[in-house]
Amino acid sequence: MRSLVSALCAGLLTVAALLVGTPAGATSLSENTENTENTENTENTENYVALGDSYAAGTGAGDYGDSGSCMRSANGFAPLWAAANSPASFANVTCGGATTDDVLGGQVDALKEDTSLVSIAIGGNDVGFADVMTTCTLGSDQSCVDKVEEAKTAARETLPAKLDTTYAEIKKRSPQARVVVLGYPRVFVSGSADCSMSETKRTALNGAADELSTVIEGRVGAAGMTYSDVRDEFDGHGVCTDAAWIHGVRPNLGESYHPNADGQKSGYLPAFEGAVGVRAAR
């Protein structure tokens, strides 16, 4: 039994590395880009660029093609929207593990003056998402709460400036684009539940998602962009629900605590679709 427990713990300790993945800025843009030109439908003149981290990339939804450690899924909301709407062009440079530095260091190179639509989900890795989930999976209730409080402090004190810089660069490169910033869901079901994660841990983690959402929404409003909160879409579909749209710990550890294909199709995609037609805040 000891060897089994040791092996499990050793495996779970790699969650942090796999959740963070290879920094998006470490590979060339061509390796992270999926470009499609619409030659059949000239009615949709959108030039769409998808930016962001694993939640934007569809990590957890399978079908990653040749995207390597970026784990960019064909079942992610961005390619699903592109397939349904046939934009004039589509560049998907999302990558699992991306931070605001990775967006600024490489992903923004996909933005052009004629880019008309941009989606982005970013910020979770900047406040230590992987470390928080690893601590809460393996540690005590108190260690989880303490790690969550560290992340919430980072969200309040250091993340706003990083988001401001990122959003400003997007506007600089694509001044005419509609920019939709998507938030993050609460990962777990709330309250009493049959779940390997204690209620104390789940409450703390969901509180961190709320804090992160509040910070991101505030900076998006200040930038005059459009924020789409996905918490309503995912309500009732967190880890430990009967119809979970978010994975728990997975054999492919990089997929752990990420939306599955249903979460991308029925959670993120409707949130993006609803926001595409919404004017930015002025």
Check 119, 213, 258, 266 and give the catalytic one.
Answer: 258
Supply the DSSP string of 43-76, one letter for each residue: S---EEEEEESHHHHTTTSS--TT-GGG---TTS
What pLDDT, on a 0 to 100 scale, did the predictor assign at position 37? 52
What pLDDT, on a 0 to 100 scale, did the predictor assign at position 169? 98
69: annotated active-site residue: no
What pLDDT, on a 0 to 100 scale, did the predictor assign at position 36? 52
Check 54, 213, 228, 256 and give the catalytic one.
Answer: 54
277 CB burial (10 A radius; 0-12, 13-18, 19+) = exposed
What pLDDT, on a 0 to 100 scale, did the predictor assign at position 192? 87
Report the predicted TM-score, pTM, of the whole model to 2 decimal places.
0.87
- What is the mean pLDDT, run by run of 10 residues, along the chain of 282 residues? 37 44 40 48 82 98 97 98 96 98 98 98 97 96 98 98 98 98 96 93 97 98 98 97 96 95 98 82 40
Q: Which residues contact 186 (CB under 8 A, 6 or more apart)?
A: 205, 206, 209, 210, 231, 234, 235, 238
What pLDDT, on a 0 to 100 scale, did the predictor assign at position 157? 98
Q: Which residues contact 134 (CB under 8 A, 6 or more apart)?
A: 12, 13, 15, 16, 19
What pLDDT, on a 0 to 100 scale, did the predictor assign at position 16? 45
Region of residue 173 (phi > 0: left; psi between -120 and 50: alpha; otherwise: beta) = alpha
Q: Which domains does the chain have, with CATH numbers?
A: 14-276 (3.40.50.1110)
237: annotated active-site residue: no
